[in-house]
């Protein structure tokens, strides 16, 4: 399976809008949303059937048996996350507990146990195509591990699919790193802002450390032509394939607000993203793994 991962380095660049357009244009039989902290690909990719949902277990949470507790206070003094409260009785705040297990280790009475805790929910749709996503519970960690599970679920459910589009998460942290693992190409969706330029450079360096093929497009390029030119110049200097520019388009905003794909509208942004898609696929198919599947005519 050839995997195209779409990243941005920051939120709000239009990454998910571009991902949805690519899924439609390629008629992808497999796709995933790895932004597990705030998944939203489902908003523009409505499904016809109910999802299969399963619990995701992250780090365990400490639990104190007050019947065995001798109130020695070792656990509270040893907790570096201030997760143990002794105002009334020794209790654990599950939102503060990081599951490190120190309290269990220092407890002389054996009153503390580390218990499995549901940290999120894996979600899988299987219609004409496979859509894998997930949602991390508020305050839970291990988002990188949940992203890995989203990708595993997609690969398992769509084992015969030749091409997959994956919508990544913003930033350069654990979820992004987990998303890049196994990807054949990363398309970066940039925006022409000062923070956008800074974050593009960070995500490029992160992606390059994995040796993955890179391409870049600029969304809403016409809101600041000076910054757009700076990003294009950076691509040339860094040796990154530049695949096009998408203008700011009120009709694209209307499409997203209506829960539709911008490729469903005959608008400036829709036409531009088609060109970006065409150039991206050409680069992807020219890659070592892509050549193997080029004759199948992705898109």
Q: Label residue 298 by pLDDT band (50, 70, 90).
A: low
Residues 36-80: tens digit of each pLDDT = 988 999 988 888 889 999 999 988 999 999 999 999 999 999 999
Q: Is the pLDDT of residue 270 over 50?
A: yes
Of 9-13, 115-119, 206-210, 292-296, the poorest mean pLDDT is in 292-296
Domain holding 255: CATH number?
Answer: 3.40.50.300
Kindly state whether residues 28 and 166 are assigned to the same domain.
yes
Kindly state whether residues 157 and 105 are assigned to the same domain.
no
pTM value?
0.87
Residues 159-215: tens digit of each pLDDT = 889 999 999 988 888 899 999 999 999 999 999 999 999 999 999 999 999 999 999
Say if CB 56 and CB 110 are below 8 A apart: no
What is the domain extent for residue 67? 59-116
Kindly state whether residues 173 and 239 are assigned to the same domain.
yes
Q: Is the pLDDT of residue 290 over 60?
A: no
Residue 10's pLDDT is what? 84
The domain total for the chain is 2
Kindly state whether residues 132 and 38 are assigned to the same domain.
yes
Q: Is the pLDDT of residue 274 over 50?
A: yes
Kindly state whether residues 129 and 268 are assigned to the same domain.
yes
Q: Label residue 237 by pLDDT band (50, 70, 90).
A: very high
Residue 48's pLDDT is what? 84
**Percentage of the residues of the chain whose pLDDT score is greater than 90:** 69
Domain holding 80: CATH number?
Answer: 3.30.70.20
Ramachandran sector of residue 44 (left: φ over 0; alpha: ψ -120 to 50; beta: rest): alpha
Q: Label residue 292 by pLDDT band (50, 70, 90).
A: very low
Residue 294's pLDDT is what? 42
Residue 295's pLDDT is what? 37
């Amino acid at each position: 399976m050839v995997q195209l991962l779409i990243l941005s380095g920051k939120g709000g660049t239009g990454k998910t809008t571009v991902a949805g357009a690519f899924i439609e244009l390629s008629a992808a039989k497999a796709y995933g949303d790895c932004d597990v902290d705030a998944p939203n690909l489902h908003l523009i990719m409505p499904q016809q059937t109910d999802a299969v949902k399963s619990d995701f277990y992250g780090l365990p949470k400490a639990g104190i048996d007050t019947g065995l507790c001798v109130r020695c206070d070792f656990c509270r003094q040893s907790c570096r996350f201030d997760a143990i409260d002794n105002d009334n009785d020794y209790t654990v705040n599950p939102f503060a507990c990081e599951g490190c297990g120190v309290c269990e280790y220092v407890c002389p009475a054996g009153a503390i146990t580390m218990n499995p805790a549901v940290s999120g929910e894996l979600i899988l749709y299987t219609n004409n195509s496979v859509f894998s996503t997930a949602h991390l519970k508020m305050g839970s960690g291990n988002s990188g591990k949940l992203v890995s599970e989203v990708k595993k679920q997609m690969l398992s459910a769509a084992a015969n699919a030749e091409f997959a589009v994956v919508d990544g998460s913003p930033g350069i942290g654990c979820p992004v790193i987990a998303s890049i693992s196994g990807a054949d190409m990363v398309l970066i969706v940039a925006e022409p802002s000062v923070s956008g330029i800074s974050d593009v450079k960070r995500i490029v360096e992160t992606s390059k450390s994995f040796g993955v093929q890179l391409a870049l497009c600029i969304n809403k390029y016409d809101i600041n032509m000076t910054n757009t030119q700076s990003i294009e110049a950076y691509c040339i200097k860094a040796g990154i394939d530049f695949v096009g520019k998408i203008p700011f388009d009120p009709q694209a905003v209307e499409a997203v607000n209506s829960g539709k794909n911008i490729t469903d509208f005959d608008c400036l942004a829709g036409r531009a993203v088609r060109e970006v898609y065409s150039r991206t696929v050409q680069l992807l198919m020219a890659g070592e793994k892509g050549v193997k599947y080029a004759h199948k005519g992705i898109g």
